[in-house]
Amino acid sequence: MVPRAEVARIVAGLDVATQRTRGKVFSLAVFLSVVTTPMVPPLLVWSFHGGSGVRGTTSDGKEPLEIAIQLRNQEWAEFLLQRIAQALRSEKFFVTPVAEDHPVFQVRKDNIVFTIRLEHQRVVISVLPAHAGIARQLLSVVLKGLDSILESVRMARSAPELWTLSAADA
């Protein structure tokens, strides 16, 4: 049930129970909530000119840019996608999954809106030209963080003494 209809019926029922109004007003409130509740969804679709309102061009007609990063395998792409989402959340962006069956996220903060999706071995960021600098800066920060992690792993691999346990540690 739709909350606005429930609230209207509850208020009308309380008015009748406290004898503030007559039965005709209660009947009118119930009638209006029953009639208007199924009308709203089709009117919303009509207000979006027959579309869902989810995807389209912006008010200024500019198409979004796509920033893509090709990786060696899907596991690395998934890892990068999660790191980007984590970095965005730490910067107080709202990161919302769009689809359950495919990793696509919508990102929002103030008037900034863009999407991040995974396409096999690629991470693709779709952003308006006005916000492309923000997306590129965020991406460079995430990649720089990953670069420092990889450098730490390389250093650990080149130092075999880190991998051996002494008799006192065992």
Strands (DSSP E) contained in 63-159 are: 65-70, 94-97, 104-109, 112-119, 122-127
Question: What's the pLDDT at 13?
Answer: 77
Question: 119 phi and psi, to 5 degrees?
Answer: -125, 95
Sign of CA dihedral 6, 12, 16, 19: positive
Of 73, 72, 62, 80, nearest to 125 by C-alpha is 80
Under 8 Å between Cβ of 86 and 111: no
Question: What's the pLDDT at 168?
Answer: 54
Of 102, 128, 125, nearest to 115 by C-alpha is 125
- Cα gap 114→64, rounded to integer Å: 9
Q: Domains in the chain, start-ordered, CATH in brackets? A: 3-47 (no CATH), 65-160 (3.30.310.50)
pTM of the shown model: 0.55
Residue ranges of the chain with pLDDT lower than 50?
1, 53
Question: What's the pLDDT at 29?
Answer: 76
- Could you read off the pLDDT of 104-124 as tens digits, one per residue? 889 898 888 888 999 888 999
Question: What's the pLDDT at 112?
Answer: 86
Question: What's the pLDDT at 167?
Answer: 52
- Cα gap 4→37, rounded to integer Å: 8
Question: What's the pLDDT at 153?
Answer: 75
H or E segment and range at residue 6: helix 3-17
Question: What's the pLDDT at 160?
Answer: 62
